[in-house]
């Protein structure tokens, strides 16, 4: 008897058939994996418009499960069912549609704008089985495009509202492609007059012939940015100085497509710089005209500037002096340091005595008058010190003192001489008096002798 079994009455499959089935399953699994890996909603539709399969992206965009979708009418999930129905019918008729716009409605009411690309799919014999449709979500694309339009509009507004800066777009051949209001005001050309023309019309011939313009543009092309100051020509032929910045414009792939030139009239800036130079030169002339050594000192005691008189009194060059310690050039460095520190603490010093030592050893006595100097905001920048050479004055004072000492000595000598003369006179007077007295005595003795002779004298009386 034959044993009965589950395969009784069935032909066993050949190994070849088993392999084909396995390959088909593998291919189907591979195709399914690709479909599910896509973030775009995929759907297959039968000839009567029923959904036969969907991927996970379709489930998410509709909010309906696979079981709820399969067998349902494809057009039921759109804001315009008739348009959706017309779309898949076109596919059956033409074989495909591209970028067919529809709006999917999620079950919670949320809408998603999509573009469908769809085509028929067939069996091995070429018979149409249905439509395979892939929807590309264009919500983000539309949002990006809207932002782009807004950004472009914003930039266009900036471009046109900028009246201080000339903003000029050029192609790689340097033809003018865009022209803002600032360019019109600065150069005098309207957009209609200048668009399409070679931008060299704005450069002076000297800059073109010298190659300065070519170098500017070549640098912008190679490095992406170039800048400089140039003389520019207005429509009426007048010239004006301008600060020019050129950047290379690239497309989305990074390929150079042209240039963007921004420039501004710097006439006033140049005038201000010229005035500043004149003022600086005037101040420098005054400083250098001074025969007194002048020096500026930073908060840490370093020399920041000197005049020629300081160079001469120290024997050091300007370059050697700047950056060195102010106190290094005096016989008493500590006293010099205390001096400029007093200026920073008190704001000034007057007649501060120091002695400058020349590099050859020669000494110069000076009196410093110094005060702090400030920036426009009142912040202390450093000390300005002027030294008055008092060497000659001290020499004169020494001479005067010496002369005074000599005169005082002479006075003392004269006084002594006068005293001696007085004494001598007194002594001579006494001697003369004695002589006179002696003479008187002698005269009296003579008279007495005569009397004695004339009158006899009683000896007893005597």
Same domain for 354 and 301? yes
Whether 52 is in a domain gets the answer yes
Same domain for 124 and 221? no
Contact assessment for residue 409 and residue 415, using Cβ atoms and an 8 Å cutoff: no
Per-residue confidence at 460, pLDDT binned at 50, 70, 90? low
In whole angstroms, what is the distance from residue 58 CA to residue 102 CA? 14
Which among 384, 383, 326 has a CA at the least distance from the CA of 356?
A: 326
Tokens of 300: 């840490």
Of the two residues 35 and 80, the one the predictor is more confident about is: 80
- Residues 6 or more apart whose CB falls under 8 angstroms from that of 385 comprise 294, 295, 296, 297, 340, 343, 368, 369, 370
Whether 263 is in a domain gets the answer yes
Whether 407 is in a domain gets the answer no
Contact assessment for residue 151 and residue 139, using Cβ atoms and an 8 Å cutoff: no
Residue-level pLDDT at 158: 53
Same domain for 42 and 132? yes
Q: Is the pLDDT of residue 172 over 80?
A: yes
Tokens of 336: 């010099």
Same domain for 189 and 263? yes
Of the two residues 376 and 317, the one the predictor is more confident about is: 317
Same domain for 260 and 190? yes
Contact assessment for residue 206 and residue 225, using Cβ atoms and an 8 Å cutoff: no
Same domain for 167 and 266? yes
Percent of the chain past pLDDT 90, that is, above it, reads 51
Whether 118 is in a domain gets the answer yes
Residue-level pLDDT at 142: 63
Tokens of 7: 């395969």
Same domain for 48 and 112? yes
Last residue of a domain, one of 373, 389, 405: 389
Which among 393, 347, 390 has a CA at the least distance from the CA of 366?
A: 390
Concatenate the DSSP letters of all residues of 9-62 into one string.
Answer: TSPPPPHHHHHHHHHHHHHHHHHHHHHHH-SS-EEEE-TTSBEEEE-HHHHHHH
CA torsion angle for 73, 76, 82, 85 (degrees, to 10)? -30
What's the sign of the alpha-carbon dihedral 344, 347, 353, 355?
Answer: positive
Q: How far is CA 248 from the centre of its chain?
A: 23
What are the distances in angstroms from CA 298 to CA 322, 344, 355, 366?
A: 11, 10, 21, 21
Tokens of 441: 């005595």
H helical segments located in 95-237: 139-161, 181-187, 191-194, 205-209, 212-223
**How many folded domains does the chain comprise?**
3
Domain hosting 127: range is: 36-137
In whole angstroms, what is the distance from residue 102 CA to residue 83 CA? 8
Per-residue confidence at 252, pLDDT binned at 50, 70, 90? confident
Kindly report the backbone phi and psi dihedral angles of residue 228, in degrees, each rounded to the nearest multiple of 5, phi listed first: 180, 180
Tokens of 384: 């300005």
In whole angstroms, what is the distance from residue 45 CA to residue 55 CA? 13
Percent of the chain past pLDDT 70, that is, above it, reads 84
Whether 312 is in a domain gets the answer yes
* Mean pLDDT value across residues 55-62: 92
Contact assessment for residue 330 and residue 314, using Cβ atoms and an 8 Å cutoff: no
Whether 277 is in a domain gets the answer no
Whether 5 is in a domain gets the answer no
Tokens of 29: 């699994």
Q: Is the pLDDT of residue 34 over 70?
A: no
Residue-level pLDDT at 382: 92
* Mean pLDDT value across residues 210-214: 94
Whether 279 is in a domain gets the answer no
Same domain for 179 and 247? yes
Last residue of a domain, one of 219, 235, 270: 270
Residue-level pLDDT at 5: 43
Last residue of a domain, one of 120, 137, 154: 137
In whole angstroms, what is the distance from residue 334 CA to residue 330 CA? 9
Of the two residues 46 and 390, the one the predictor is more confident about is: 46
What are the distances in angstroms from CA 392 to CA 116, 364, 402?
A: 104, 9, 15
Tokens of 70: 């399969």
Q: Is the pLDDT of residue 330 over 90?
A: yes
In this structure, of 20-29, 148-157, 228-237, the range with the lowest mean pLDDT score is 148-157
In whole angstroms, what is the distance from residue 391 CA to residue 367 CA? 10
Same domain for 210 and 124? no
Per-residue confidence at 161, pLDDT binned at 50, 70, 90? low
Same domain for 168 and 265? yes
Same domain for 235 and 302? no
Q: Over the chain, what is the mean pLDDT?
A: 84
Q: Which residues pair with 178 in a beta bridge?
A: 169
* Mean pLDDT value across residues 125-135: 88
Cα angle: 391, vertex 393, 397; to 5 degrees: 115
**CATH number of the domain encompassing residue 215:** 3.30.450.20
Same domain for 202 and 127? no
Per-residue confidence at 159, pLDDT binned at 50, 70, 90? low
Tokens of 357: 């030592």
DSSP 64: -
Tokens of 216: 């500017």
């Amino acid at each position: 008897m034959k044993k009965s079994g589950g395969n009784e009455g069935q032909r066993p499959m050949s190994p070849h058939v088993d392999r084909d089935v396995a390959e088909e399953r593998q291919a189907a699994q591979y195709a399914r994996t690709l479909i599910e890996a896509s973030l775009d909603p995929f759907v297959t539709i039968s000839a009567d418009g029923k959904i036969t399969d969907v991927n996970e992206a379709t489930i998410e965009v509709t909010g309906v499960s696979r079981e709820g979708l399969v067998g349902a009418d494809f057009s039921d999930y759109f804001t315009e069912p008739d348009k959706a129905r017309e779309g898949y019918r076109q596919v059956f008729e033409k074989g495909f549609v591209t970028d067919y716009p529809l709006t999917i409605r999620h079950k919670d009411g949320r809408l998603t704008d999509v573009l469908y690309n769809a085509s028929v799919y067939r069996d091995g014999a070429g018979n149409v089985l249905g439509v395979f449709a892939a929807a590309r979500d264009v919500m983000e694309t539309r949002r990006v495009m809207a932002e782009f339009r807004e950004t472009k509009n914003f930039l266009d507004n900036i471009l046109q509202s900028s009246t201080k800066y000339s903003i000029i777009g050029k192609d790689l051949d340097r033809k003018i492609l865009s022209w803002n209001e600032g360019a019109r005001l600065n150069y005098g050309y309207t957009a209609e007059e200048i668009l399409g023309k070679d931008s060299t019309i704005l450069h002076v011939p000297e800059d073109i012939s010298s190659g300065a313009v070519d170098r500017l543009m070549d640098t912008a092309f190679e490095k992406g940015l170039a800048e400089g100051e140039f003389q520019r020509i207005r429509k009426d032929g007048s010239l004006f100085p301008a600060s020019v910045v050129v950047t290379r414009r690239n497309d989305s792939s990074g390929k150079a497509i042209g240039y963007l030139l921004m420039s501004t009239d710097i006439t006033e800036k140049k005038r201000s710089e010229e005035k500043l130079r004149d003022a600086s030169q005037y101040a420098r002339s005054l400083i250098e005209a001074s025969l007194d050594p002048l020096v500026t000192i930073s908060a840490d005691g370093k020399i920041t500037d000197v005049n020629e008189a300081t160079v001469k009194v120290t024997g050091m060059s300007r370059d050697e002096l700047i950056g060195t310690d102010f106190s290094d050039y005096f016989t008493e460095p500590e006293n010099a340091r205390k001096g400029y520190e007093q200026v920073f603490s008190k704001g000034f010093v007057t007649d501060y005595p120091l002695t400058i030592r020349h590099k050859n050893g020669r000494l110069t006595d000076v009196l410093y008058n110094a005060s702090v100097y400030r920036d426009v905001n009142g912040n202390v920048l450093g000390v300005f010190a002027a030294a008055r050479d008092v060497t000659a004055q001290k020499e004169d004072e020494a001479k005067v003192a010496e002369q005074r000492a000599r005169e005082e000595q002479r006075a003392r000598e004269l006084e002594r001489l006068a005293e001696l003369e007085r004494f001598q006179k007194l002594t001579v007077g006494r001697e003369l008096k004695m002589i006179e007295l002696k003479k008187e005595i002698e005269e009296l003795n003579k008279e007495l002798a005569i009397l004695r002779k004339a009158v006899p004298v009683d000896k007893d009386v005597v």
